[in-house]
Amino acid sequence: MNAVAPLIKLESISKHFGEGSTRVDALRDITLDIEPGSVVGLLGPSGSGKSTLLNAIGCIIEPTAGRMTLDGEVVYDNGWLRSDLRRLRLEKIGFIFQFHNLLPFLSVTDNVALVLQLAGYDDDDAKHRATQLLDYLEVGNRKQAYPANLSGGEAQRVAIARALANKPRIILADEPTAALDSQRAGIVMDLLGKVAKDQSAAILVVTHDEKIFSRFDVMFQLRDGQLSSDAA
Amino acid sequence: MNLALRDIRHNLGRFLLTCFGLSLLLGVVLSMIGIYRGLVDDALVLARAPQADVWVVEAGTRGPFAEASRIPGDTREAIALSHGIAEAGAVTFQSVETQHRGRKLRLFVVGYEPGRPGGPAQVVAGRNITRSHYELVADRSSGLEIGDRVALGTSKYTVVGLTRNLVASGGDPVVFVTLKDSQELQFELSPSAARRELARGAAPSGTDTINAVVARAAHNVSPAQAAHMVARWKHLSTMTQLEQETVLTQSVVERARKQIGMFTAILLLVSAVIIALIIYTLTMDKMREIATLKLIGAPDRAIVGLIVQQSLAMGLIGFSFGALLIASLKDVFPRRVILNPEDGLLLALVVIMVCVVASGMGVRLALKVDPATALGS
Ligand SMILES: Nc1ncnc2c1ncn2[C@@H]1O[C@H](COP(=O)(O)OP(=O)(O)O)[C@@H](O)[C@H]1O
Ligand SMILES: [Mg+2]
């Protein structure tokens, strides 16, 4: 085992929706460490709690119990310990969502540059870095386009550029390659692997996509909200 | 980057259409306020035209506008000679209907004595009456032009001068003729019974009747003092100019004024509600984008800015368009529409307030929205 402190540390994290007869236990007692530099796959049937786990780590939904440490900071201990979760997200976490979630009224470049500006980059630096990332992800030719005019694959790559823009150490991706052909899926996974090494980031990827299983350092399986690990 | 501006640019058509709708609405509000101001002002212009300090009318009446007033023609001399009075003029008022260029024309005829108080304050084209008969100074709103000939009673009058914005409280254009002409006209148009009586040889002095005497106070004498000094005649009543104006606004146009005032207030309320609804729905439509902004870590300030800036832009553009629209259309209205800058400013402030309050309600919701709502399909 590695002695490096984990970037993501979950201890007995649980989450249920509703109460009584409508209660759904989406996560049961999840304990998990993810180390810097690793690309981790999260597998499981539909409804097993993969998105819920990802959103809990991203501080988008609040767990119901447990303890969560991100990048050395305890952020949840049977309750949020930070009031500025948005700042935390901006600084530490990059998201790649299932439904891209690009802002429809901003051009491709501005969607990426906005995150950088919010993080304190000035206009020119933000635009410059956004352009570089988009070129790297091979969507540089759509810089001026608006999200409504992008194909699913293009939108996904823009969303990835946005997630990587602020060089977060934690990257959470929900089905990032679902809309991509295997060549582009390979490029995305290469990129995530490179980011994990270069920025010594922890990357957690929810996927069904067997084409990319070989790219993971570790894989976990979720079933009915419970975790079992599979060595890749 | 300014998110509000980006969003506006991206949905420019919809934004402009909403602004246009708002501007029509605010234009209607502005014109209603203008109509109200016009009504009140029109009610007073006729009473203000003689630039009098004191009105002398029939005893026990508040004439000549609110109530009928008939006094002997020689009253003028007596008043003019009174202490505290500098000058006085006899005036008559009557409504006359005539034809002009094949169209029915209702006029409000003022008879006055040229050279004495009671005539037009300002002739904007042509000249004042100089002959003792059959000359007429008309208000532009009548459509009459200099040189036109128009029949009043059995005589033809020539238009020699024009005034502007001078109408009676009912909206009829005012025309001025000499007192002699107006008395002749009054006699011709009076009920036939009275005329028969006169023809039988009853007091012919009955034709020398006027409706009021308008007087100006002497130097160093206040209108109230002057009114008091001429109040000693039993068969006369006196009013200061201020009292006359109060009577006009509080009795002659009172109902019309309240009616329009009420309607204006309702319209303002309805507009406020509509603006609030527009802005509220505008914000609701953006909930997904707002949730996304929260997901990527945007602070509240960025979200509030997006909503408030956009609603203010909408309100201000809508208002400016509406004001421009009404300013360019106001002369098309059949009666006067007065656009006071103060009224416009007040309405602009109301619009800004409504925008801020409505977007405040939107902001409350926006700040509560769970970022996870952006994650659904
Ligand atoms: N907001 C919610 N309210 C109620 N139940 C939810 C909510 N989100 C997810 N669930 C339930 O939690 C379980 C796990 O959902 P999810 O994490 O989306 O699964 P997966 O991503 O693995 O398909 C499912 O049974 C789902 O119905
Ligand atoms: Mg899911």
Question: Where in chain A are the domains?
Answer: 8-18+32-228
Whether residue B69 contacts residue B211, with contact meaning beta carbons closer than 8 Å, is answered with yes
Q: Residue A147 — pLDDT band, cuts 50, 70, 90?
A: very high
Instruction: Please tell me the predicted confidence (pLDDT) of residue A7.
Output: 92
Q: Do B90 and B11 belong to one domain? A: no
Task: Tell me the whole-structure pTM to 2 decimals.
Answer: 0.75
Residue B205 confidence class, pLDDT cut points 50, 70, 90: very low
Residues B90 and B151 both lie in one domain: yes
Sign of CA pseudo-dihedral B195, B197, B201, B202: negative
- Tell which of B235, B264, B283 closes a domain: B235
Same domain for B220 and B263: no
Q: Which residue has the tokens 């319209």?
A: B267
Percent of chain B with pLDDT over 90: 25
Residue B250 domain-assigned?
no
Instruction: Return the pLDDT at B195.
Output: 59
Specify whether B89 is located in the same domain as B229.
yes
CATH of A8-18+32-228, one of 3.30.420.40, 3.40.50.300, 3.30.460.10, 3.30.70.1150: 3.40.50.300
Whether residues B75 and B207 share a domain: the answer is yes
**A50 in contact with ligand 1, CB cutoff 6 A:** yes
Q: Are residues B70 and B196 in the same domain?
A: yes
Q: How confident is the model at residue B152 (pLDDT cuts 50, 70, 90)?
A: confident
| Residues B169 and B69 occupy one common structural domain | yes
User: Is position B68 within any domain?
Assistant: yes
State whether B203 and B141 are in the same domain: yes
Contacts of A52 (CB under 8 A, 6+ apart): A15, A26, A27, A61, A225
Distance CA A231, CA A220 (A): 8
pLDDT digits (tens, 9 = 90+) for A18-77: 998 999 999 999 999 999 999 999 999 989 999 899 999 999 899 999 999 999 999 999
Q: What is the ipTM metric for this complex?
A: 0.85
Q: Which of A14, A21, A52 to mutate to test the pocket of ligand 1 (most atoms within 8 A of CB)?
A: A52
Q: What pLDDT, on the 0 to 100 scale, is given for residue B200?
A: 58
Same domain, B218 and B112: yes
**Cα angle value B263/B269/B272 (rounded, 5°):** 140
> What distance in Å separates the CA atoms of residue A145 and residue A140, rounded to the nearest whole number?
10
Task: Give the range with max mean pLDDT: A18-22, A26-30, B51-55, B293-297.
Answer: A26-30
Site to substitute for ligand 1 among A14, A24, A30, most atoms within 8 A of C-beta:
A24
Alpha carbon of B347 to ligand 2 centroid (Å): 51
Task: Work out the pLDDT band at B191, boundaries 50, 70, 90.
Answer: low
Contact A34, A11 (CB under 8 A): no
**Shared-domain flag, residues B83 and B141:** yes
* Averaged pLDDT for residues B142-155: 88
CA A54 to ligand 2 centroid distance, Å = 9
Q: What share of chain A is helix, strand, coil (3-state, %, to 5)?
A: 40, 30, 35
What is the model's pLDDT at position A109? 95
In a domain, residue B224? The reply is yes
Mark whether B210 and B297 lie in a shared domain: no
pLDDT of B199 over the 90 cut: no
Cβ of A207 closer than 6 Å to ligand 1, yes or no, is no
pLDDT tens per residue, range B308-358: 999 899 999 999 999 999 999 988 888 888 888 998 999 899 999 988 988
What is the rounded average pLDDT of the residues B176-184?
90
The answer to whether position B240 is within a domain reads: no
Classify residue B35: in a domain, yes or no: yes
Lowest mean pLDDT among A57-66, B17-26, B254-263: B254-263
Q: Amino acid identity of A105?
A: F
How many A from CA of A27 to the centre of ligand 2? Answer: 13
Using 50, 70 and 90 to split pLDDT, how confident is the model at A110? very high
Q: Is the pLDDT of residue A204 over 60?
A: yes
Domain boundary among B192, B207, B235: B235
Average pLDDT, chain B: 86
User: Which of B252, B344, B264 lies closest to B35 in space, CA to CA?
Assistant: B264
Give residue B316's domain range.
3-42+255-375
Read off the pLDDT of residues B227-252 as tens digits, 9 standing for 90 and up.
887 777 778 888 988 988 888 888 77
Indicate the number of domains in chain B: 2
The SS3 of residue B212 is: strand
Expressed in angstroms, the distance from the first to the final Cα of chain B is 27
Task: Give residue for tokens 């005893």.
Answer: B59
Q: Are residues B25 and B110 in the same domain?
A: no
Alpha helix (H) residue ranges in B204-299: 223-229, 241-247, 254-284, 287-295
